[in-house]
Structure 1
Amino acid sequence: MSAGTERFVGHIAGLGTTSGVRIVIGMWASSPFGAFTDVMVQSAEGTRTLLAPSSSIADYVSGAYSFDVVRVEPLSVSMGEDSLSLDAGPLSVEAELGATTGVGRLLGLIPTAVATHPRWLTAINPVAKVLMPGVRTVGATRDQRRQYYGVTGARLITSARVSWAGDDLGELSSVRPRVRFGFSSVPKKPQVVDVTTIAVVVPSEVSGT
């Protein structure tokens, strides 16, 4: 894509299963591609799979993060007050949502303009590392964009039914080991966060040096 700043606004759901499969669902209401959903799946053995709704989104996401398998699949998702439902090719997720997390309540007190600003996210990155091991609010993507994660709310996932190609993946579990698609994982406790992601092309990429 062209040089500059790219902004994605929506939700990220992270959950694990007792089979060892871990799943990260990006549900974007606003982005350079319009509204879309993509899914990152890491198996118990460590294989990282991207499920994307189009080749252009697959190319963009796989350029920013690391995957062993990339698949273009039809994706549909719905999230209500108490539930999340996803159909993504071979993957099916039916999850129940619970209360706002403690961190989510604190984040809700911060004005969105502050909570999603790169300067704020750079400043709190050391704190995020300590409070939520594996989680980062700022870092570099594989294609050398500077990326910021600004979370403004968080709700627990309390239960989930997850299957792959019809095979049950077990009960809801923590996201451990942490996922390794990029510089940041998701929180250990299964949850859905409200997030603004900002990607900035670094000067060397703009100038071609």
Structure 2
Amino acid sequence: MPVTQRWCFRGQIAGVGSTSGVRVVVGRWADSHLGSFADAMVETAHGHRVLIAPTEGVAEFICATYEFDEVRIEPIVVGGPPGEWQVASTSLDLHIGVGGRMPLGRLLRLVPTRVAASPAGATAIDPVARVVMRGVRTRGTALTGRQEFYGATDLHAVTGLVGRFDDLDLGSLAPVDPPCGFGFSSTPRRPGVTDVLTTVIERD
């Protein structure tokens, strides 16, 4: 079937777990058809899935791809000095320490970016990702039938976490376990920050 729409998002994804049982996926997008923006997907220990998005337009696009129990439209900013992500919104206050490049990140750096970030590259690596990282997929079909491809180009370790979600203290850093249930793929079990080009394709 012919491709009717193609959208690309270039940025970084931080995936972290916490001793409170809350798991958080933060997107920091430098370039997309929606402009530059940040968003956060939060899953509580009880499995309640919350999207935090800065605008209705961003929320509408994300909700056509992923599944949530609640959507909150509120300003969300990701900043901080080198080696730290400071995530701030009305609902979420999160500080993430970012460490050195992980072994998988070193391998990803050996692959030409145009190959690693392409849908073909994501398709080729998907069988390996399924085996090596439980819950992780690099390609799949989203809610509305859209195809999504994650082209990872680098990976850094997360070294620490402090923060709150609503009135809940998140505690300290923990694995992303169980895997997040927003869509066909989760972030890796080991907390990390991934440089990624996400491609979303819609066909007739």
TM-score by length of 2: 0.96
SS at match of 1:114: helix
Count of aligned pairs between the two proteins: 202
Q: Who is 1:13 aligned against?
A: 14
- C-alpha displacement of 1:34: 0.4
1:27-81 deviation per Cα after TM superposition (whole angstroms, max 9, x unaligned): 1000110000010000000000000000111111111100000010111111542
How far apart, CA to CA, are the structure 1 residues paired with 2:6 and 2:64?
16
Percent of counterpart pairs with the same letter? 41
Q: Is 1:48 matched up with 2:42?
A: no
The corresponding residue for 1:110 is: 111
Which residue of 1 is the match for residue 140 of structure 2?
A: 139
Q: Residues 118-157 of structure 1 correspond to what in structure 2 (within 5 A)?
A: 118-157=119-158
Opposite residue 4 of structure 1, the aligned amino acid is Q
1:171 aligned partner: 172
1:128 is paired with a residue whose SS is: helix
SS at match of 1:4: strand
TM-score by length of 1: 0.94
Tell me how far apart the structure 1 counterparts of residues 185 and 76 of structure 2 sit (CA, whole Å).
24
- Paired residue type of 1:34: G
Task: Name the aligned partner's letter for residue 188 of structure 2.
Answer: P
Instruction: Determine helix, strand or coil for the equivalent of 1:66.
Output: coil
Q: Which runs of 4+ in 1 moved over 3 A?
A: none
Task: For residue 95 of structure 1, report the CA deviation from its aligned partner.
Answer: 1.4
Q: Say whether residues 1:85 and 2:86 are aligned partners.
A: yes
For 1:64 and 1:165, how far apart are their aligned partners in 2? Answer: 25
Q: AA paired with 1:39?
A: A
- Secondary structure of the structure 1 residue equivalent to 2:110: coil
Query: What CA distance in whole angstroms lies between the structure 1 residues aligned with 2:92 and 2:48?
Result: 15
Task: Tell me how far apart the structure 1 counterparts of residues 10 and 81 of structure 2 sit (CA, whole Å).
Answer: 17
